Every structure is written in C-alpha cells, then in structure tokens.
C-alpha cells in the first residue's frame, strides 16, 4: 500500500470542504487505499491545530478522523535530516516521509525543500490515478479470452454495422443437404447462429484453447471439429485435412486461407464465402503503439482475392468492401485487443508500451475517444462446375 505523510493543512482543508483535492486524499486514507504515516509529534500537532476555536470543526469529526489515523496509520520514528527549514515545525513531516520513501502531501510545497516526493494534493491524486489506470490495464492484459467473443468490449469499442450481414449471406446459399466447412470457427459462435444441420457441418480451429472449447461445445452436437495449424503459424489452413471435392460450401470469417486448398476441397459448383479484415483496419491504433510496425499483408485486398479466384476458374458473385470509423473510449479496451490480436501488435505489453498508453489516455481525456479506420470486405465466389 502506498505510504503517505499528510501535512496538517491537508486535514484542515479536508474538514473545511468535502469536495476539494485534500478531502479526496483523506478519503483514500479512510478507504485504506493508502497508509498514513506519523509519529507522536505529528499526532500532537493534528490534535492541537484541529481543535483551534477559529476553525469551529465538530469535535466528533476531529475525534473520528484522529482515531482512525491512530488505529490504521503507521507510527514510526525517524532521524532528523539536515535540510534547512524556515519553520522547524515542518521538519517532522519531511523526516518521516524521507525515511520511509513516502509521499509528503502539503498545501504549502514552498515551505519544503524541492524534492520529488513532496507534492500538492492535486499532483498526488494524478499519480494515484495513473497507478490505478496501470493496474486496470494490467488486469485487461490478463483478462481471459475465449472463442471469438468480444462482449467484454461492449460500450467501450464502437463500430457501425456492416452494409451486409454475413450470416444472412451464408444462409442465402446454403441448403440443408450441403456439406459445410467453417474455417477458423473460433468458439463456434457464428457457426451455431447459422443453424445448419450438425451432421453436415465441419469446422477447423487452430488456437488450442478455442479448439478445446469447440470439442466441448460443438462436438457433442455432432459437428466435426478438426485441428489444423499450430498457433504460432499464422499461414492458417494452408493444408486442409479433407479429401478433394468434399464440401458444397466453405465459409471463412476473419480467418486466413489458401485458395488452392479451398479450390481442392470444394465440389464443382460449390461456394466460397469469406468476410475479411482489410489491410487498412485500425492502422492508426497499431501505429500509436508500434511506430515501426509494417503490415505484412499489403495484398490482403478484395481486388487481389477476386482476381486470384477468377484465375482458379471461380465466378465472383459478390465483391464488396467498406471503410468506416472505429472509436475506442478507454485505453483498457485497446490493451485487451492488442493482447488478442498479437499479429498486429507484436511484442505488446503494458510494461513496455506504458508511455504510449498514457499518451492515448490523455487524448481520450481530451476528445472522449480514439479514432481509427475500420476495413472489411466480403467475397462470394462459385467454383466452375
């Protein structure tokens, strides 16, 4: 717990006004967010000064406050320092704070030597706010992520609805008798929302925690779940473990793919439907945290994939693309995303990127949000049959 030494003027101000910075500092003491340090001399000064008639404080308020400090605070002794003081009565606060490495909080910083641990209540609250933020960001960094469920970001990360509905598009081409493959199913959330007959449904997944989740949730329903690539290999599904011409329809939402494998495992006349995150997506956020990041998929575009599909004798039926505004309302949400999408935020951690996160926080405090460009595209293609 953070140790603090409070000059008597902080207690005076806190009893005068419950809304000022001194009162907020004292509230942190009362809530055991910080530990107040003192010695018998400080306690005597508190008692004598607070009871002066000119303040007209309620005796019960003084008693309750001092009893709490005596009971919950830390009583210490410290050797006097050789720093110069115009008013020697201030020395006791300084000596204890310096000996303990505590913050000395005072409304009269000019009465003390110019030391980094001596500050106003407002400056101390800023430090504590930063510490609280960092603690929250560490919690976001370690928050469990399962499946492909981003509900943890509800109200914190804002994107508009896309001009198409992926599930509706898939359903418009899907028939009950079709053999369906969902590539990179995540936790199977989208796949289940399609409602295809389970016996005709297959799914691949590579990320081990998600694969285990799918085995627990999808496999008992009769859906065939197949492990593909290892997590460290981001060239996902470059070898699908299925026979040639096995599937009537292959769907892929935000998963990588190899069109040669898609072509090989799809029946003549079959459909490939994919919604992808475009190569412009949230680059502003990525570069805020990694100045030298280079997006490694410059050809990850709707135009390129449509051309490649045409080269494999597919007929491209739908080719749509959209860019839109993304807003994030707190840095914790950005931290959460950066730890999930590791291929876009390599080497990210709160510890190594703290200065950049604090810069982002200051911008959000000023504007209310951080803005970036979202980028998605949709392709529906039919194999020549």
Strand-strand pairing, 266-277 and 247-253 = parallel
**Are residues 225 and 355 part of one domain?**
yes
pLDDT digits (tens, 9 = 90+) for 191-225: 999 999 999 999 999 888 899 999 999 999 999 99
Q: Looking at residues 277-283, what average pLDDT do you find?
A: 92
**Are residues 228 and 374 part of one domain?**
yes
Please report the pLDDT score of residue 34 as a whole number. 93
Tally DSSP H helices, then E strands, for the chain.
14, 13
Res. 15: pLDDT tops 60: yes
Give the chain's domain count: 2
**Are residues 126 and 164 part of one domain?**
no
Please report the pLDDT score of residue 231 as a whole number. 44
CATH number at residue 294: 3.40.50.150
Please report the pLDDT score of residue 297 as a whole number. 62
Over the chain, what is the mean pLDDT? 92
User: Containing domain of residue 201, as a range?
Assistant: 151-383
Please report the pLDDT score of residue 233 as a whole number. 46
Q: Which of 108, 141, 174 is the last residue of a domain?
A: 141
Q: What is the pTM of this model?
A: 0.73
**Are residues 237 and 211 part of one domain?**
yes
pLDDT digits (tens, 9 = 90+) for 75-127: 998 888 777 787 888 899 999 999 899 999 999 999 999 999 999 999 999 99
**Are residues 216 and 341 part of one domain?**
yes
Res. 180: pLDDT tops 90: yes
Residue 187 and residue 216 in contact, taking contact as beta carbons nearer than 8 Å: no
**Are residues 217 and 173 part of one domain?**
yes
The helix (H) or strand (E) run that includes residue 184 is none
| DSSP codes of every residue in 252-295 | EES----HHHHHHHEEEEEEEEEEEE-TTTTHHHHHHH-TT---
pLDDT digits (tens, 9 = 90+) for 352-371: 999 999 999 999 989 999 99
**Are residues 269 and 163 part of one domain?**
yes
Q: Which of 123, 141, 159 is the last residue of a domain?
A: 141
CA angle, 361 as apex, 357 and 367 as ends, to 5°? 140
């Amino acid at each position: 717990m953070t140790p603090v030494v409070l000059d008597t003027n902080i207690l005076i101000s806190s009893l005068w006004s419950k809304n000022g910075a001194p009162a907020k500092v004292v509230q942190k003491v009362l809530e055991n967010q910080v530990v107040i340090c003192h010695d018998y001399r400080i306690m005597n000064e508190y008692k004598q000064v607070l009871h002066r008639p000119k303040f007209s404080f309620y005796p019960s308020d003084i008693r309750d406050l001092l009893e709490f400090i005596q009971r919950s605070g830390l009583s210490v002794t410290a050797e006097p320092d050789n720093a110069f003081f115009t008013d020697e009565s201030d020395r006791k606060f300084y000596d204890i704070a310096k000996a303990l490495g505590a913050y000395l909080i005072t409304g009269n910083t000019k009465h003390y030597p110019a030391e980094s641990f001596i500050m106003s209540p407002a400056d101390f609250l800023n430090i504590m706010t930063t510490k609280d933020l960092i603690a929250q960001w560490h919690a976001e960094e370690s928050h469990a992520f399962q499946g492909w469920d981003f509900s943890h970001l509800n109200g914190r990360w804002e994107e508009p609805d896309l001009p198409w509905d992926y599930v509706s598009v898939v359903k418009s081409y899907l028939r009950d008798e079709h053999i369906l493959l969902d590539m990179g199913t995540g936790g199977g959330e989208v796949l289940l929302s399609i409602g295809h007959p389970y016996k005709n449904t297959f799914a691949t997944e590579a990320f081990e925690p998600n694969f285990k989740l799918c085995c627990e949730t999808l496999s008992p329903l009769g859906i065939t779940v197949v492990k593909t690539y290892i997590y460290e290999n981001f060239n996902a599904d470059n070898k699908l473990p299925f026979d040639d011409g096995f599937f009537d329809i292959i769907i892929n939402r935000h998963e990588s793919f190899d069109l040669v494998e898609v072509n090989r495992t799809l029946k003549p006349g079959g459909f490939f439907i994919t919604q992808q995150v475009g190569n412009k997506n949230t680059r502003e956020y990525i570069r805020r945290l990694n100045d030298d990041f280079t997006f490694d998929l410059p050809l990850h575009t709707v135009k390129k994939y449509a051309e490649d599909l045409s080269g494999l004798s597919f007929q491209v039926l739908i080719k749509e693309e959209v860019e839109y505004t993304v807003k994030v309302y707190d840095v914790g949400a950005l931290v959460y995303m950066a730890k999930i999408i590791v291929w876009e935020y390599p080497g990210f951690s709160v510890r190594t990127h703290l200065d950049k996160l604090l810069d982002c926080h200051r911008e959000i405090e000023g504007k209310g949000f951080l803005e970036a460009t979202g980028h998605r595209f949709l392709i529906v293609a039919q194999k020549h049959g």
